[in-house]
Structure 1
Amino acid sequence: MEGLLRQSQWRIIDQSTASPHFHALQSFAMDDTLCASVGAGQAPATARTWVHQNTIVLGIQDTKLPFLQDGMQFLKNKGYQVIVRNSGGLAVVLDDGVLNISLILPEAEKGIDINRGYEAMWQLIQQMLADFPVEIEAREIVGSYCPGSYDLSIGGKKFAGISQRRLRRGVAVQIYLCVTGSGSERAALVGEFYRLAKQGELTKFAYPEIAPEVMASLSELLGVQLTVGDCMLRLLQQLKQNSDLLYAGQLNEHELGLLPGYYQRIVERNERIAGM
Protein backbone atom coordinates (compact mmCIF):
# COMPACT_ATOMS: atom_id res chain seq x y z
CA MET A 1 0.00 0.00 0.00
CA GLU A 2 2.66 2.48 1.02
CA GLY A 3 4.68 1.69 -2.09
CA LEU A 4 2.07 3.14 -4.44
CA LEU A 5 1.95 6.50 -2.71
CA ARG A 6 5.72 6.65 -2.42
CA GLN A 7 7.13 7.81 -5.77
CA SER A 8 10.51 9.28 -6.62
CA GLN A 9 8.66 12.12 -8.35
CA TRP A 10 5.11 13.42 -8.21
CA ARG A 11 4.00 15.81 -10.93
CA ILE A 12 0.92 17.80 -9.92
CA ILE A 13 -1.46 19.16 -12.56
CA ASP A 14 -3.84 21.45 -10.71
CA GLN A 15 -7.11 22.21 -12.47
CA SER A 16 -9.08 22.85 -9.29
CA THR A 17 -9.52 26.53 -10.12
CA ALA A 18 -10.20 26.12 -13.83
CA SER A 19 -12.76 28.36 -15.49
CA PRO A 20 -16.44 27.40 -15.92
CA HIS A 21 -15.58 26.72 -19.58
CA PHE A 22 -13.44 23.72 -18.55
CA HIS A 23 -15.80 20.89 -19.51
CA ALA A 24 -15.91 17.61 -17.61
CA LEU A 25 -15.47 15.66 -20.85
CA GLN A 26 -12.01 17.24 -21.06
CA SER A 27 -11.21 15.89 -17.60
CA PHE A 28 -11.90 12.28 -18.50
CA ALA A 29 -9.92 12.65 -21.74
CA MET A 30 -7.07 14.12 -19.68
CA ASP A 31 -6.97 11.11 -17.36
CA ASP A 32 -6.93 8.69 -20.30
CA THR A 33 -4.10 10.69 -21.86
CA LEU A 34 -2.13 10.62 -18.61
CA CYS A 35 -2.74 6.86 -18.21
CA ALA A 36 -1.28 6.21 -21.65
CA SER A 37 1.66 8.53 -21.08
CA VAL A 38 2.61 7.42 -17.58
CA GLY A 39 2.03 3.78 -18.54
CA ALA A 40 4.44 4.17 -21.47
CA GLY A 41 7.10 5.77 -19.27
CA GLN A 42 6.73 9.14 -21.01
CA ALA A 43 5.90 10.95 -17.76
CA PRO A 44 6.32 10.41 -14.01
CA ALA A 45 3.55 9.51 -11.60
CA THR A 46 1.03 12.34 -11.77
CA ALA A 47 -1.60 13.72 -9.45
CA ARG A 48 -4.31 15.76 -11.16
CA THR A 49 -6.87 17.81 -9.26
CA TRP A 50 -10.03 19.08 -10.88
CA VAL A 51 -13.28 20.87 -10.07
CA HIS A 52 -16.27 21.30 -12.38
CA GLN A 53 -19.36 23.45 -12.12
CA ASN A 54 -22.81 21.78 -11.77
CA THR A 55 -22.29 18.52 -13.67
CA ILE A 56 -23.81 15.07 -13.28
CA VAL A 57 -21.47 12.33 -14.47
CA LEU A 58 -23.30 9.16 -15.45
CA GLY A 59 -21.75 5.69 -15.72
CA ILE A 60 -22.27 3.29 -18.60
CA GLN A 61 -24.98 1.36 -16.69
CA ASP A 62 -26.99 4.56 -16.21
CA THR A 63 -27.40 4.87 -19.98
CA LYS A 64 -29.53 1.69 -19.90
CA LEU A 65 -32.24 3.21 -17.69
CA PRO A 66 -35.64 2.83 -19.41
CA PHE A 67 -36.58 6.52 -19.13
CA LEU A 68 -33.08 8.01 -19.27
CA GLN A 69 -34.13 11.09 -21.23
CA ASP A 70 -36.74 12.01 -18.59
CA GLY A 71 -34.12 11.83 -15.87
CA MET A 72 -31.61 13.83 -17.90
CA GLN A 73 -34.18 16.52 -18.66
CA PHE A 74 -34.90 16.89 -14.93
CA LEU A 75 -31.19 17.43 -14.24
CA LYS A 76 -30.88 19.96 -17.07
CA ASN A 77 -33.91 21.84 -15.72
CA LYS A 78 -32.09 22.03 -12.37
CA GLY A 79 -29.13 23.71 -14.09
CA TYR A 80 -26.83 20.69 -14.43
CA GLN A 81 -25.04 19.50 -17.53
CA VAL A 82 -25.04 15.73 -17.96
CA ILE A 83 -22.17 13.67 -19.35
CA VAL A 84 -21.30 9.97 -19.55
CA ARG A 85 -17.82 8.94 -18.48
CA ASN A 86 -15.83 6.23 -20.22
CA SER A 87 -15.68 3.86 -17.25
CA GLY A 88 -17.89 1.96 -14.84
CA GLY A 89 -19.73 3.15 -11.78
CA LEU A 90 -22.94 5.12 -11.53
CA ALA A 91 -24.10 8.74 -11.32
CA VAL A 92 -22.10 11.24 -9.25
CA VAL A 93 -22.47 14.97 -8.64
CA LEU A 94 -19.75 17.50 -9.40
CA ASP A 95 -19.94 21.12 -8.32
CA ASP A 96 -17.61 23.77 -6.91
CA GLY A 97 -17.67 22.11 -3.47
CA VAL A 98 -16.41 18.77 -4.80
CA LEU A 99 -12.67 18.21 -5.25
CA ASN A 100 -11.65 15.43 -7.61
CA ILE A 101 -8.20 13.85 -7.31
CA SER A 102 -6.69 11.46 -9.84
CA LEU A 103 -3.51 9.56 -9.05
CA ILE A 104 -2.01 8.24 -12.29
CA LEU A 105 0.52 5.48 -11.76
CA PRO A 106 2.53 3.15 -13.99
CA GLU A 107 1.68 -0.52 -13.76
CA ALA A 108 4.65 -2.52 -12.51
CA GLU A 109 5.66 -5.69 -14.35
CA LYS A 110 3.26 -7.73 -12.22
CA GLY A 111 0.58 -5.05 -12.42
CA ILE A 112 -1.14 -3.16 -9.62
CA ASP A 113 -3.75 -5.20 -7.79
CA ILE A 114 -7.05 -3.30 -7.91
CA ASN A 115 -7.41 -3.21 -4.12
CA ARG A 116 -3.92 -1.75 -3.75
CA GLY A 117 -5.02 1.17 -5.89
CA TYR A 118 -8.09 1.77 -3.76
CA GLU A 119 -6.15 1.44 -0.51
CA ALA A 120 -3.45 3.87 -1.66
CA MET A 121 -6.14 6.54 -2.14
CA TRP A 122 -7.77 5.66 1.20
CA GLN A 123 -4.38 6.00 2.87
CA LEU A 124 -3.81 9.37 1.20
CA ILE A 125 -7.12 10.76 2.46
CA GLN A 126 -6.41 9.44 5.97
CA GLN A 127 -3.06 11.24 5.91
CA MET A 128 -4.63 14.45 4.61
CA LEU A 129 -7.14 14.49 7.49
CA ALA A 130 -4.90 13.00 10.19
CA ASP A 131 -5.24 16.04 12.48
CA PHE A 132 -8.98 15.40 12.95
CA PRO A 133 -9.96 12.89 15.68
CA VAL A 134 -12.15 10.78 13.39
CA GLU A 135 -12.02 7.31 11.87
CA ILE A 136 -12.31 7.22 8.10
CA GLU A 137 -13.85 3.91 7.08
CA ALA A 138 -13.73 2.27 3.66
CA ARG A 139 -16.85 0.16 3.06
CA GLU A 140 -19.99 0.30 0.98
CA ILE A 141 -22.56 2.80 2.24
CA VAL A 142 -25.94 1.46 1.21
CA GLY A 143 -28.27 4.24 0.07
CA SER A 144 -25.47 6.45 -1.27
CA TYR A 145 -25.08 7.32 -4.92
CA CYS A 146 -22.46 5.34 -6.85
CA PRO A 147 -22.02 2.86 -3.97
CA GLY A 148 -18.87 0.75 -3.82
CA SER A 149 -16.75 -1.28 -1.44
CA TYR A 150 -14.36 1.66 -1.00
CA ASP A 151 -16.86 4.39 -0.14
CA LEU A 152 -15.15 6.64 2.40
CA SER A 153 -17.27 7.57 5.40
CA ILE A 154 -17.18 9.03 8.89
CA GLY A 155 -19.78 7.81 11.36
CA GLY A 156 -21.60 5.91 8.63
CA LYS A 157 -21.98 8.96 6.35
CA LYS A 158 -20.26 8.90 2.98
CA PHE A 159 -18.23 11.88 1.83
CA ALA A 160 -16.17 10.34 -0.99
CA GLY A 161 -16.14 7.57 -3.58
CA ILE A 162 -13.17 5.98 -5.34
CA SER A 163 -12.98 4.53 -8.84
CA GLN A 164 -10.24 3.24 -11.12
CA ARG A 165 -9.49 3.48 -14.81
CA ARG A 166 -6.85 1.24 -16.42
CA LEU A 167 -5.47 1.98 -19.85
CA ARG A 168 -2.25 1.07 -21.69
CA ARG A 169 -0.30 0.03 -18.58
CA GLY A 170 -1.37 3.14 -16.69
CA VAL A 171 -3.73 3.22 -13.72
CA ALA A 172 -5.83 6.24 -12.73
CA VAL A 173 -7.19 6.02 -9.19
CA GLN A 174 -9.87 8.70 -8.96
CA ILE A 175 -11.77 10.09 -5.97
CA TYR A 176 -14.44 12.72 -5.54
CA LEU A 177 -14.31 14.49 -2.18
CA CYS A 178 -17.46 16.32 -1.09
CA VAL A 179 -15.68 19.12 0.76
CA THR A 180 -18.38 21.73 1.30
CA GLY A 181 -22.12 22.05 0.77
CA SER A 182 -24.87 19.59 1.59
CA GLY A 183 -24.18 15.93 0.93
CA SER A 184 -27.82 15.03 1.44
CA GLU A 185 -29.02 17.61 -1.10
CA ARG A 186 -26.65 16.19 -3.70
CA ALA A 187 -27.95 12.70 -2.91
CA ALA A 188 -31.59 13.81 -3.16
CA LEU A 189 -30.90 15.23 -6.62
CA VAL A 190 -29.48 11.90 -7.82
CA GLY A 191 -32.34 10.04 -6.15
CA GLU A 192 -34.91 12.04 -8.11
CA PHE A 193 -32.97 11.40 -11.32
CA TYR A 194 -33.21 7.64 -10.74
CA ARG A 195 -36.90 7.86 -9.85
CA LEU A 196 -37.70 9.65 -13.11
CA ALA A 197 -35.32 7.58 -15.24
CA LYS A 198 -36.62 4.25 -13.92
CA GLN A 199 -40.28 5.01 -13.14
CA GLY A 200 -40.71 1.76 -11.23
CA GLU A 201 -39.86 -0.52 -14.12
CA LEU A 202 -37.98 -3.75 -13.53
CA THR A 203 -34.41 -3.57 -14.80
CA LYS A 204 -31.69 -6.19 -15.19
CA PHE A 205 -29.28 -3.96 -13.29
CA ALA A 206 -30.00 -3.00 -9.67
CA TYR A 207 -29.85 0.79 -9.43
CA PRO A 208 -29.33 2.29 -5.97
CA GLU A 209 -32.25 3.32 -3.78
CA ILE A 210 -30.91 6.67 -2.60
CA ALA A 211 -31.20 7.57 1.09
CA PRO A 212 -30.01 11.21 1.26
CA GLU A 213 -29.33 11.07 5.01
CA VAL A 214 -26.36 8.69 4.53
CA MET A 215 -24.31 11.29 2.64
CA ALA A 216 -22.59 14.42 3.94
CA SER A 217 -19.71 16.76 3.14
CA LEU A 218 -16.45 16.87 5.06
CA SER A 219 -17.37 20.31 6.39
CA GLU A 220 -20.60 18.89 7.80
CA LEU A 221 -18.90 15.81 9.28
CA LEU A 222 -15.89 17.59 10.78
CA GLY A 223 -17.80 20.62 12.03
CA VAL A 224 -15.38 23.05 10.37
CA GLN A 225 -15.62 25.09 7.19
CA LEU A 226 -13.11 23.30 5.02
CA THR A 227 -12.62 24.61 1.49
CA VAL A 228 -11.37 23.00 -1.70
CA GLY A 229 -8.26 25.17 -1.27
CA ASP A 230 -7.68 23.76 2.22
CA CYS A 231 -7.83 20.22 0.87
CA MET A 232 -5.49 21.13 -1.98
CA LEU A 233 -2.90 22.33 0.53
CA ARG A 234 -3.26 19.13 2.55
CA LEU A 235 -2.85 17.06 -0.62
CA LEU A 236 0.32 18.89 -1.65
CA GLN A 237 1.82 18.42 1.80
CA GLN A 238 1.24 14.67 1.64
CA LEU A 239 2.57 14.28 -1.91
CA LYS A 240 5.69 16.18 -0.84
CA GLN A 241 6.17 13.80 2.08
CA ASN A 242 5.77 10.81 -0.26
CA SER A 243 8.33 11.84 -2.88
CA ASP A 244 11.83 13.20 -3.39
CA LEU A 245 10.51 15.75 -5.84
CA LEU A 246 7.08 17.37 -6.14
CA TYR A 247 6.63 19.80 -8.96
CA ALA A 248 3.81 21.56 -10.79
CA GLY A 249 3.54 20.71 -14.47
CA GLN A 250 1.29 20.61 -17.48
CA LEU A 251 0.88 18.13 -20.32
CA ASN A 252 4.16 17.41 -22.10
CA GLU A 253 4.58 17.27 -25.86
CA HIS A 254 3.80 13.54 -26.04
CA GLU A 255 0.59 14.04 -24.05
CA LEU A 256 -0.53 17.03 -26.11
CA GLY A 257 -0.35 14.74 -29.13
CA LEU A 258 -2.49 12.06 -27.46
CA LEU A 259 -5.19 14.29 -25.95
CA PRO A 260 -7.25 15.13 -29.09
CA GLY A 261 -7.83 11.44 -29.87
CA TYR A 262 -9.00 10.57 -26.38
CA TYR A 263 -11.19 13.68 -26.24
CA GLN A 264 -12.81 12.80 -29.58
CA ARG A 265 -13.66 9.30 -28.34
CA ILE A 266 -15.52 10.50 -25.26
CA VAL A 267 -17.28 13.27 -27.22
CA GLU A 268 -18.53 10.71 -29.76
CA ARG A 269 -19.80 8.44 -26.97
CA ASN A 270 -21.76 11.32 -25.47
CA GLU A 271 -23.16 12.30 -28.84
CA ARG A 272 -24.45 8.76 -29.29
CA ILE A 273 -26.17 8.90 -25.88
CA ALA A 274 -27.72 12.29 -26.70
CA GLY A 275 -29.13 10.86 -29.91
CA MET A 276 -30.78 7.84 -28.27
Structure 2
Amino acid sequence: MNVQLSPLFRKKWFILDQSVTGLGMNPMQSFAIDDTLCRRVSNEPDWGIARTWVHSKTVVLGIQDSRLPYIDDGISFLKRSGYDVIVRNSGGLAVVLDEQVLNISLLFQDGKEMSIDRGYELMVELVRLLLGSLGKLVMDGEVKESYCPGRYDLSIKGKKFAGISQRRLRGGVAVQIYLAVSGSGSDRARLVKHFYDSAVQGAPTKYEYPQIIPAKMASLDELSQEYAGGQVDIDLSIQGIIHSLLLKLSSLSDQLDTFALSEEDWESYEENLARMVKRNEKIVMV
Protein backbone atom coordinates (compact mmCIF):
# COMPACT_ATOMS: atom_id res chain seq x y z
CA MET A 1 0.00 0.00 0.00
CA ASN A 2 1.20 3.49 -0.86
CA VAL A 3 1.25 5.19 2.54
CA GLN A 4 0.57 8.54 0.87
CA LEU A 5 -2.90 7.22 0.10
CA SER A 6 -3.61 6.75 3.80
CA PRO A 7 -5.85 9.48 5.26
CA LEU A 8 -3.34 9.66 8.13
CA PHE A 9 -0.48 10.67 5.86
CA ARG A 10 1.01 14.12 6.50
CA LYS A 11 4.09 15.70 4.96
CA LYS A 12 5.21 16.43 8.50
CA TRP A 13 4.28 14.53 11.64
CA PHE A 14 5.45 15.90 14.97
CA ILE A 15 5.51 14.03 18.29
CA LEU A 16 5.21 15.60 21.73
CA ASP A 17 5.70 12.87 24.33
CA GLN A 18 4.49 13.78 27.83
CA SER A 19 3.92 10.22 28.99
CA VAL A 20 6.50 10.63 31.77
CA THR A 21 6.46 14.36 32.49
CA GLY A 22 2.65 14.24 32.60
CA LEU A 23 2.82 12.27 35.84
CA GLY A 24 3.98 15.46 37.54
CA MET A 25 1.41 17.67 35.82
CA ASN A 26 -2.18 18.55 36.64
CA PRO A 27 -4.39 17.20 33.82
CA MET A 28 -5.75 20.73 33.35
CA GLN A 29 -2.36 21.49 31.85
CA SER A 30 -2.87 18.79 29.23
CA PHE A 31 -6.12 20.28 27.99
CA ALA A 32 -4.52 23.72 27.92
CA ILE A 33 -1.64 22.34 25.83
CA ASP A 34 -4.03 20.79 23.32
CA ASP A 35 -5.83 24.12 22.98
CA THR A 36 -2.46 25.76 22.37
CA LEU A 37 -1.54 23.20 19.71
CA CYS A 38 -4.90 23.73 17.99
CA ARG A 39 -3.91 27.33 17.37
CA ARG A 40 -0.39 26.35 16.29
CA VAL A 41 -1.54 23.77 13.73
CA SER A 42 -4.35 25.92 12.31
CA ASN A 43 -2.14 27.42 9.59
CA GLU A 44 -0.33 24.20 8.72
CA PRO A 45 -2.45 22.02 6.40
CA ASP A 46 0.41 19.54 5.86
CA TRP A 47 1.10 19.02 9.56
CA GLY A 48 -0.08 16.51 12.08
CA ILE A 49 0.90 16.65 15.75
CA ALA A 50 0.62 13.60 17.99
CA ARG A 51 0.85 14.19 21.72
CA THR A 52 1.07 11.33 24.21
CA TRP A 53 0.21 11.97 27.84
CA VAL A 54 -0.22 10.03 31.07
CA HIS A 55 -1.44 11.38 34.41
CA SER A 56 -1.65 10.12 37.95
CA LYS A 57 -5.00 9.07 39.41
CA THR A 58 -7.60 11.62 38.25
CA VAL A 59 -11.25 11.49 37.25
CA VAL A 60 -11.94 13.94 34.43
CA LEU A 61 -15.57 15.06 34.51
CA GLY A 62 -17.60 16.41 31.62
CA ILE A 63 -19.42 19.70 31.93
CA GLN A 64 -22.76 17.87 32.28
CA ASP A 65 -21.36 15.81 35.16
CA SER A 66 -20.54 19.02 37.02
CA ARG A 67 -24.25 19.88 37.09
CA LEU A 68 -25.47 16.68 38.78
CA PRO A 69 -27.72 17.34 41.80
CA TYR A 70 -25.29 16.05 44.45
CA ILE A 71 -22.03 16.75 42.62
CA ASP A 72 -20.25 17.77 45.85
CA ASP A 73 -20.95 14.34 47.33
CA GLY A 74 -19.73 12.67 44.13
CA ILE A 75 -16.47 14.62 44.13
CA SER A 76 -15.95 13.92 47.84
CA PHE A 77 -16.32 10.19 47.13
CA LEU A 78 -13.69 10.34 44.38
CA LYS A 79 -11.25 12.24 46.57
CA ARG A 80 -11.73 9.77 49.43
CA SER A 81 -10.94 7.04 46.89
CA GLY A 82 -7.59 8.68 46.16
CA TYR A 83 -8.42 10.52 42.93
CA ASP A 84 -8.02 14.13 41.94
CA VAL A 85 -10.93 15.65 40.00
CA ILE A 86 -11.07 18.15 37.15
CA VAL A 87 -13.67 19.26 34.61
CA ARG A 88 -12.47 19.24 31.01
CA ASN A 89 -13.23 21.61 28.18
CA SER A 90 -14.04 19.01 25.51
CA GLY A 91 -17.11 16.84 25.06
CA GLY A 92 -18.11 13.70 26.90
CA LEU A 93 -18.68 12.52 30.46
CA ALA A 94 -16.53 11.19 33.31
CA VAL A 95 -13.39 9.16 32.49
CA VAL A 96 -10.60 7.74 34.63
CA LEU A 97 -6.91 8.54 34.19
CA ASP A 98 -4.07 6.74 35.94
CA GLU A 99 -0.54 5.50 35.32
CA GLN A 100 -1.83 2.60 33.19
CA VAL A 101 -3.97 4.72 30.85
CA LEU A 102 -2.34 6.23 27.76
CA ASN A 103 -3.89 9.33 26.21
CA ILE A 104 -3.14 10.32 22.62
CA SER A 105 -4.11 13.62 21.02
CA LEU A 106 -4.00 14.05 17.24
CA LEU A 107 -4.01 17.66 16.10
CA PHE A 108 -4.84 18.82 12.60
CA GLN A 109 -5.90 21.93 10.77
CA ASP A 110 -9.70 22.26 10.81
CA GLY A 111 -10.08 22.24 7.02
CA LYS A 112 -13.05 21.51 4.81
CA GLU A 113 -12.16 17.81 4.64
CA MET A 114 -11.81 17.45 8.42
CA SER A 115 -15.43 16.78 9.37
CA ILE A 116 -16.30 15.64 12.89
CA ASP A 117 -16.71 12.05 11.70
CA ARG A 118 -13.44 12.28 9.77
CA GLY A 119 -11.56 13.25 12.92
CA TYR A 120 -12.93 10.26 14.79
CA GLU A 121 -12.25 7.91 11.88
CA LEU A 122 -8.57 8.94 11.73
CA MET A 123 -8.12 8.06 15.39
CA VAL A 124 -9.86 4.71 14.95
CA GLU A 125 -7.59 3.87 12.01
CA LEU A 126 -4.49 4.84 13.99
CA VAL A 127 -5.43 2.67 16.98
CA ARG A 128 -6.00 -0.34 14.75
CA LEU A 129 -2.55 0.20 13.23
CA LEU A 130 -0.91 0.57 16.65
CA LEU A 131 -2.32 -2.66 18.06
CA GLY A 132 -1.00 -5.03 15.42
CA SER A 133 -2.84 -8.35 15.30
CA LEU A 134 -5.06 -7.29 18.21
CA GLY A 135 -6.19 -4.32 16.10
CA LYS A 136 -8.07 -6.69 13.80
CA LEU A 137 -10.49 -7.41 16.65
CA VAL A 138 -11.21 -3.74 17.39
CA MET A 139 -14.78 -2.56 16.80
CA ASP A 140 -16.03 1.01 16.92
CA GLY A 141 -19.52 1.75 18.19
CA GLU A 142 -21.20 2.77 21.40
CA VAL A 143 -20.89 0.53 24.44
CA LYS A 144 -23.86 1.98 26.28
CA GLU A 145 -23.09 0.37 29.64
CA SER A 146 -19.59 1.90 29.82
CA TYR A 147 -18.54 5.20 31.31
CA CYS A 148 -18.52 8.10 28.82
CA PRO A 149 -20.36 6.09 26.15
CA GLY A 150 -20.20 7.41 22.60
CA ARG A 151 -20.48 6.53 18.90
CA TYR A 152 -16.73 5.99 18.66
CA ASP A 153 -16.11 3.80 21.67
CA LEU A 154 -13.51 1.14 20.87
CA SER A 155 -14.09 -2.38 22.10
CA ILE A 156 -13.10 -6.00 21.61
CA LYS A 157 -15.83 -8.63 21.92
CA GLY A 158 -18.16 -6.05 23.46
CA LYS A 159 -15.71 -4.84 26.14
CA LYS A 160 -14.66 -1.21 25.86
CA PHE A 161 -11.01 -0.24 26.28
CA ALA A 162 -10.98 3.25 24.77
CA GLY A 163 -13.10 6.33 24.15
CA ILE A 164 -12.60 9.28 21.82
CA SER A 165 -13.49 12.95 22.23
CA GLN A 166 -12.90 15.92 19.99
CA ARG A 167 -12.34 19.63 20.41
CA ARG A 168 -12.30 22.29 17.68
CA LEU A 169 -10.75 25.63 18.46
CA ARG A 170 -9.10 28.50 16.59
CA GLY A 171 -8.89 26.67 13.28
CA GLY A 172 -7.50 23.46 14.76
CA VAL A 173 -8.88 20.07 15.76
CA ALA A 174 -7.76 17.99 18.74
CA VAL A 175 -8.94 14.37 18.60
CA GLN A 176 -8.27 12.83 21.99
CA ILE A 177 -8.39 9.18 23.03
CA TYR A 178 -7.81 7.38 26.30
CA LEU A 179 -6.48 3.82 26.00
CA ALA A 180 -6.79 1.59 29.05
CA VAL A 181 -3.52 -0.25 28.47
CA SER A 182 -3.37 -2.38 31.62
CA GLY A 183 -4.95 -2.66 35.04
CA SER A 184 -8.59 -3.50 35.69
CA GLY A 185 -11.13 -1.93 33.36
CA SER A 186 -13.98 -3.12 35.53
CA ASP A 187 -12.45 -1.53 38.66
CA ARG A 188 -12.27 1.83 36.86
CA ALA A 189 -15.86 1.42 35.71
CA ARG A 190 -16.97 0.53 39.25
CA LEU A 191 -15.37 3.73 40.56
CA VAL A 192 -17.31 5.88 38.06
CA LYS A 193 -20.53 3.96 38.78
CA HIS A 194 -20.17 4.75 42.49
CA PHE A 195 -19.44 8.39 41.61
CA TYR A 196 -22.77 8.65 39.78
CA ASP A 197 -24.58 6.91 42.64
CA SER A 198 -23.16 9.52 45.03
CA ALA A 199 -23.74 12.49 42.72
CA VAL A 200 -27.33 11.58 41.74
CA GLN A 201 -28.85 9.77 44.75
CA GLY A 202 -32.06 9.08 42.86
CA ALA A 203 -32.79 12.74 42.13
CA PRO A 204 -34.04 13.83 38.68
CA THR A 205 -31.28 14.85 36.26
CA LYS A 206 -31.26 16.98 33.12
CA TYR A 207 -29.46 14.31 31.11
CA GLU A 208 -29.32 10.53 31.04
CA TYR A 209 -26.15 9.56 32.85
CA PRO A 210 -24.57 6.16 32.10
CA GLN A 211 -26.00 3.02 33.69
CA ILE A 212 -22.60 1.38 34.00
CA ILE A 213 -22.03 -2.38 34.01
CA PRO A 214 -18.38 -2.78 35.12
CA ALA A 215 -17.92 -6.07 33.25
CA LYS A 216 -18.41 -4.21 29.96
CA MET A 217 -15.01 -2.50 30.32
CA ALA A 218 -11.52 -3.97 30.20
CA SER A 219 -7.90 -3.03 29.52
CA LEU A 220 -5.93 -4.06 26.46
CA ASP A 221 -3.81 -6.35 28.61
CA GLU A 222 -6.92 -8.09 29.95
CA LEU A 223 -8.38 -8.40 26.45
CA SER A 224 -5.17 -9.83 25.04
CA GLN A 225 -5.15 -12.48 27.76
CA GLU A 226 -8.83 -13.33 27.22
CA TYR A 227 -9.03 -13.36 23.44
CA ALA A 228 -5.46 -13.83 22.22
CA GLY A 229 -4.01 -15.97 24.97
CA GLY A 230 -1.54 -13.18 25.67
CA GLN A 231 0.07 -13.89 22.27
CA VAL A 232 0.21 -10.48 20.61
CA ASP A 233 2.79 -9.03 18.25
CA ILE A 234 3.31 -5.72 20.06
CA ASP A 235 4.45 -4.65 23.51
CA LEU A 236 1.24 -3.85 25.40
CA SER A 237 2.74 -1.29 27.73
CA ILE A 238 2.58 2.50 27.69
CA GLN A 239 6.07 2.80 26.23
CA GLY A 240 5.50 -0.12 23.88
CA ILE A 241 2.48 1.56 22.30
CA ILE A 242 4.34 4.87 22.07
CA HIS A 243 7.16 3.06 20.27
CA SER A 244 4.59 1.60 17.87
CA LEU A 245 3.18 5.11 17.37
CA LEU A 246 6.60 6.50 16.44
CA LEU A 247 7.14 3.75 13.88
CA LYS A 248 3.71 4.27 12.30
CA LEU A 249 4.01 8.05 12.12
CA SER A 250 7.45 7.72 10.55
CA SER A 251 5.95 5.56 7.82
CA LEU A 252 3.03 7.98 7.38
CA SER A 253 5.08 11.10 6.71
CA ASP A 254 7.93 12.53 4.74
CA GLN A 255 9.37 13.87 7.99
CA LEU A 256 8.90 12.95 11.65
CA ASP A 257 10.25 15.32 14.26
CA THR A 258 9.79 16.19 17.92
CA PHE A 259 7.65 19.23 18.67
CA ALA A 260 8.77 22.10 20.89
CA LEU A 261 6.53 24.95 21.99
CA SER A 262 7.70 28.40 20.97
CA GLU A 263 7.71 31.43 23.26
CA GLU A 264 4.45 32.53 21.64
CA ASP A 265 2.98 29.07 22.25
CA TRP A 266 3.89 29.27 25.92
CA GLU A 267 2.13 32.62 26.22
CA SER A 268 -0.97 31.11 24.61
CA TYR A 269 -0.68 28.10 26.93
CA GLU A 270 -0.70 30.32 30.03
CA GLU A 271 -3.91 31.98 28.82
CA ASN A 272 -5.52 28.62 28.09
CA LEU A 273 -4.48 27.22 31.46
CA ALA A 274 -5.93 30.25 33.24
CA ARG A 275 -9.28 29.55 31.55
CA MET A 276 -9.15 25.90 32.64
CA VAL A 277 -8.36 26.89 36.23
CA LYS A 278 -11.24 29.37 36.26
CA ARG A 279 -13.60 26.72 34.88
CA ASN A 280 -12.60 24.38 37.69
CA GLU A 281 -12.20 26.63 40.70
CA LYS A 282 -15.89 26.68 41.73
CA ILE A 283 -16.69 23.12 40.75
CA VAL A 284 -14.06 20.87 42.24
CA MET A 285 -13.02 22.78 45.35
CA VAL A 286 -14.92 20.43 47.67
TM range (shorter): over 0.9
Instruction: Report the counterpart of residue 70 of structure 1 in structure 2.
Output: 73
CA gap of 1:172–1:3, structure 2 versus 1, over 3 A, is: farther
Kindly report which structure 2 residues correspond to 1:13-32, keeping only aligned pairs within 5 A, or say none. Answer: 13-18=16-21, 20-32=23-35
Contact 1:71 1:194 in 2 (8 A): yes
How many Å apart are 1:135 and its aligned residue?
A: 1.6
Matches within 5 A, 1:1-276: 4-18=7-21, 20-41=23-44, 44-108=47-111, 110-132=112-134, 134-223=136-225, 224=230, 226-274=236-284
Mapped contact 1:103–1:173 kept (Cα < 8 A): yes
* Post-superposition CA distance 1:87-133 (Å, at most 9, x none): 2210000000000000000122x251111110100000111112337
Are 2:86 and 2:284, in contact at CA under 8 Å, matched by a contact in 1? Answer: no
Deviations 1:30-66 (A, max 9, x none): 0000001111349942110000000000000001100
CA distance in 2, matches of 1:11, 1:27: 17
What is the alpha-carbon distance in structure 2 between the residues aligned to residue 66 and residue 90 of structure 1? 15
Q: What is the TM-score when the length of structure 1 is the normalising length?
A: 0.95
The Cα shift of 1:76 comes to 0.3
Q: Distance in 1 between matches of 2:18 and 2:6?
A: 26
DSSP 3-state at the match of 1:265: helix
Q: Size of the alignment, in residue pairs?
A: 274
Whichever residue aligns with residue 238 of structure 1, its letter is K
Unaligned 5+ segments in structure 1 are: none
For the 8 Å contact 1:37–1:254, the answer to whether it is kept is no
Structure 2 length-normalised TM: 0.92
Describe the SS at the equivalent of 1:5. coil
| Cα distance in 2 between the residues matched to 1:252 and 1:3 | 30
Q: Report sequence identity in percent.
A: 51
Change in Cα spacing, 1:132 to 1:21, as seen in structure 2 (3 Å) is closer
CA shift at 1:241, angstroms?
1.2
Q: Measure the CA separation in 1 of the matches of 2:285 and 2:238.
A: 35
SS at match of 1:207: coil
Structure 1 stretches (4+) deviating beyond 4 angstroms? none
CA-CA distance at 1:143 after TM superposition: 0.7
Contact 1:56 1:94 survives alignment (8 Å): yes
- Backbone CA RMSD of aligned residues: 1.7
Once residues 42 and 23 of structure 1 are traced to their aligned partners in structure 2, the CA distance between those partners, rounded to angstroms, is 30
Unaligned runs of 5+ in 2: none
Mapped partners of 1:48, 1:162: distance in 2? 14
Pair 74,258 (structure 1): closer, same or farther in 2 beyond 3 Å? same
Query: Could you tell me how far apart the structure 2 residues matched to 1:140 and 1:19 are?
Result: 29
Provide the C-alpha distance between the structure 2 equivalents of 1:160 and 1:70, rounded to a whole number of angstroms.
27
Bigger drift between 217-226 and 261-270 goes to: 217-226
